[in-house]
Amino acid sequence: MPRRKALILDTNVILRFLLGDVPELYEKAYRVFQQVEEGKLQVLLTDIVLSECVWVLEKFYGLSREQIVEKLSVLLQAEAILTETPKPALKEGLSTWKASSLDWADALLVAKAMSRDIKLITFDGEIARKFTERVFPI
């Protein structure tokens, strides 16, 4: 069966699916992800939507970093979920974020730099200390 053009996932669909906190919306979100799993739909998970998911799960729902990484990792396993940033870099970013005090944006930035073997230009002291080999001295 030929694949359709990818559809962009919005944060609220992902959250309803991961949290199951609004039953009628969970059912609709579940059906979307079921179609993704069956290869009937292909969806794009953008960096901004992933970042918004991290923020909402942490700040609004109060989930721990470990819980957030566990939930979001499920999305990165599905082949039919496309991502702007390569999935290995996103997984590395989640792992770095979980194991550090970096905020999500910085962890993602470091992971992107590592995946492309490029250096960062930053004044962020924590990044400079933890990822010295990744920082361009200025």
Number of domain units in the chain: 2
121 and 72 within one domain = no
Planar angle of CA 79, 33, 91, nearest 5 degrees: 45
3-state secondary structure at position 124: coil
Q: Which domain holds residue 131?
A: 86-138
Mean of pLDDT values over 27-35? 97
104 and 65 within one domain = no
64 and 7 within one domain = yes
Q: Which two tokens stand for residue 36?
A: 């993704």
Whether pLDDT at 1 is above 70:
no
User: Domain ends where: 67, 84, 101?
Assistant: 84
Residues 6+ apart with CB under 8 A from 134: 110, 113, 114, 119, 120, 127
Residues 6+ apart with CB under 8 A from 90: 50, 76, 83, 108, 111
Mean of pLDDT values over 72-87? 94
109 and 78 within one domain = no
Whether pLDDT at 2 is above 80:
no
Whether pLDDT at 4 is above 70:
no
Whether pLDDT at 124 is above 90:
no
